Amino acid sequence: MSNTSDAGVTSASMEETGNFILHSNSNHSAWQSFEHPSDTLLPNQPLTVSLELTSVPKSPSQGGYYSLKMLQQPTSLSLALTYNLPETYDAAPEAYANYSYWPGPDISNVTGDVVAVLDGAGSFGIVYGESSNGAVYVYKNDGDYNGLGLASSQSSTRLSVLRRLILETNGNLRLYRWDNDVNGSRQWVPEWAAVSNPCEIAGICGNGVCNLDRSKTIASCSCLPGTSKAGGDNFCSDNSSSIGRCDSRNANQTSEFKIAAVQQTNYYFSDFSVIANYSDIPTVSRCGDACLSACECVASVYGLDDENPYCWILRSLDFGGYEDPGSTLFVKVRANESMTPGANKSGSDNGDTKGKVLVVPIVLSMTFLVVLLCLLLYHNVHKKRSLKRAMESSPILHGAPIHFTYRDLLVRTCNFSQLLGTGGFGSVYKGSLGDGTLVAVKKLDKVLPHGEKEFITEVNTIGSMHHMNLVRLCGYCSEGSHRLLVYEFLKNGSLDKWIFPSYSFRDRLLDWSTRFDIAIATAQGIAYFHEQCRNRIIHCDIKPENILLDENFCPKVSDFGLAKFMGREHSHVVTMVRGTRGYLAPEWISNRPITVKADVYSFGMLLLEIVGGRRNLDMSFDAEDFFYPGWAFKVSKSSFLPQPHLH
C-alpha cells in the first residue's frame, strides 16, 4: 500500500525504467515504487542503506524469509544476504533472529551515500562517495564498459536488454536477462547467481540438514532427530519445544533426555545461540555428553580447526545444517523419542518386544562391520603414506601443488643457507629436490593467522592459475606457524638486474627489442590474473624485483595472490597498505578502496623504469631529479631526450 491518501495525488506514471510514480498537485513525487522494493531490483534502481529486498516465504509453515540489505559493522557497511526467523521471534535480539550466509564487499572510510545498484549493462555492485564516483563490483558483465558510477545518474531511457535481480524464495540472489529467442520461445534466462552451492544458504531446509546430490547442484532435506517435516514441503520444524528450557525442576534431570548423533554434519548458528565453546574435549562422544549435562543445551557441534578440536554448545537450532565430513552434530532428544530423523512416535508393547529381539544380531553385525572397516582404514592409511613418500621423492607433477613438510624444505634448502632475495612478503631461498630440480622456496613473514584449511584453499587457487607469464607454484608447506611456498627456479633472476646499471651487471643490460617484449609479456600476465581468472587477484606489489626471467628472457610475474595472506579480505577491495614505496598508487595515500587499477599504476612505473633504465626513486640524484617520473616529464618538455646506455 502506498499510504498516500492525504498527499493529494492527482496522477500516476510508469517510467521506462519500471519505476511507478504517484504525482501530487504540485507535480512532485508523492510515492514511487523504487523507494519501496519487494524481492526485485530493476536496472538503475538504487538500494540504499535504509532499504532491503525481501523474499516471499516458500510456504506458511516455513514463516522465515530472506533479505538483501546493508549490514552495519563496527567500522564499515557490508552488503549481505540474511535468513530471518519468523515474526514469532520479534522479541528476540536481532543477532538471534537473523543469520548472514553470503557476505558481499565491505565499504569503509567513505563519505556520502552508499548505494547498491544494478546498472543498465547488467553489472551489480556498490557505488559510494559524494558524487557516487567510487564503485565496487559484486558481479561485472563482460559487456559493461561504462562502469557502475554512471548507473545511478542515468535517466529514464529504454534499455536494449531487459534485466532484473531477484531474491528468490530459496534464498539465492539471481540475475535474469530477457531473451527473445530461446529454442524458438521468449523467456527470462539466468545470467548470474550469488550462491552456487544451495546448501550454503541458511534456512533452506528450515532447521533440518541440507544434502547435495552427486552433481553438487540439487539439494534435498533431511530432518534432525526430534523433528519432522511440516506439511507437504521440505521444511523441518521442532517437535520438542521444551528441550533446553530450564527451571529449578528440571535443571539436573538429564535422565529425561538422550543424545542423538548426526554424523558428518555441521550447523549454521548465530553468536547468540552459543552457550560455550570447549577446546579441551578429548573425544567426539564427550561433546555430546557436554550437551546432555547442560540444561539449556539443545545441540552441540564437534569438529577440528587446524587439527585442534572444538565443541560448540548451542541453545537453539534455527538456521539449518549441512554436510561436513569433519564434523559431528549431537542433538538432545527426549529419552522416549525415536532416534530416526522425522520419525513419528508410535508403537506398542508388541513392537518393543520385537525390537529387543532384533538388538543382539544387529549389534553383532555392526561389531563385525566396524572391525572390517578398521582393517580397511588401516590398509588405506598405510597405502596413502607410502604413496605420499613416493611422490615427495619424485619429480614435480603438473597439477595441484605438492605438500612438503617443514623438515623436507630445511633439508632441500641446506637449512635455508642460499638467499636469493627478500621482498614485502618474505625471503626467498634456493633449493633442490630429490631429482635435482632447482626450486625457489619463499618463507612468508608476518602472515595472518589463517587456519591450515584456509591456507591450503588459497594455495590451490594460486596453483590452479597457469599462464606462461606467471611463475608456477610447485608446492607448499603449512605446518604449525610455518607457511612456505615452493616455486619454479628461473635462471636469469629478477628484471632489476638487467635494466639498472650496476658494477656487477654493467656489461649485460638488455637491448630495446628484449625490453619491449618483456613489457608486453608482463602486461599479459597481469591482465590474466586481473580479468581472466575466476577469482580476481590484485597483486599489490608490481615492481622489477617481482618480474623474473627464464633462460630465454621470458618474463614471469611472481608473488601474485600473496596479498590474500597478508591481510586482504576481498579480491576487489584492499584496506591495508601493501606494496613498495615508489610504486604505490595514489589510492593508498588517500585511504580509498583499492582496485586492480592500483596494479596498473605500479605497472606504469615499471614501464618507465624499463624504458629509462633508472629507478623511479633514486636518492643519488639531487632534490629536483631524484623522482624519475617528474624528471622524465621535465626532460620531455625539452628538445633533447637522453637515452639509456644499452649493451
Which residues are annotated as part of the binding site for ATP? Answer: 443
Residue at grid coordinates 580476481: 536
Q: Can you tell me whether residue 156 is helix, strand or coil?
A: coil
Q: How far is CA 34 from CA 39, 48, 51, 226, in A?
A: 12, 10, 10, 44
248 burial level (CB within 10 Å; 0-12, 13-18, 19+): exposed
Half-sphere exposure of 121 (CA within 13 A, CB side): 17
User: Any idea which residue has 548458528 for its cell?
Assistant: 269
Whether 238 sits among the annotated catalytic residues: the reply is: no
- For the stretch 232-236, contacts whose Cβ atoms lie closer than 8 Å and that sit 24 or more positions apart, written own/partner, are 233/58, 233/59, 233/61, 233/62, 234/205, 234/206, 234/208, 235/58, 235/59, 235/61, 235/62, 235/205, 235/206, 235/208, 236/205, 236/206, 236/207, 236/208, 236/342
Please check whether residue 327 is in contact with residue 264, taking contact to mean a CB–CB distance below 8 angstroms: yes
Residues 6+ apart with CB under 8 A from 558: 471, 487, 546, 547, 548
Q: For residue 454, give the H/E element and its range.
A: helix 452-463
Phi–psi pair at 515, nearest 5 degrees? -60, -40
In this structure, what C-alpha cell is assigned to residue 430?
634456493
How many angstroms separate the CA atoms of 605 and 618, rounded?
13
Tell me the pairing of strands 20-24 and 173-182: unpaired
Q: How many CB atoms lie within 10 A of CB 268?
A: 21
Tell me which residue has cell 591450503: 456
Q: Which among 504, 563, 491, 505 has a CA at the least distance from the CA of 529? A: 563
The C-alpha torsion from 287 through 291 and 292 to 295, rounded to 10°, is 160
Q: Is 519 helix (H, G, I), strand (E, B) or coil?
A: helix
Burial of 612 (0-12, 13-18, 19+ CB in 10 A): buried
Cβ(257)–Cβ(246) below 8 Å:
no
CB 426 within 8 A of CB 404: no
Query: Pairing between strand 219-222 and 227-229?
Result: unpaired
Given the residues 318, 496, 541, 599, select the one marked as catalytic: 541
What's 83-151 look like in SS3? EECCHHHCCCCHHHHEEEEEEEEEECCCCCEEEEEECCCCCEEEEEECCCCEEEEEECCCCCCCCHHHH
Nearest by Cα to 601 from 533, 532, 530: 530
- Is residue 112 a contact partner of residue 129, using CB atoms and an 8 Å limit? yes
Could you give the residue numbers annotated as active site? 541
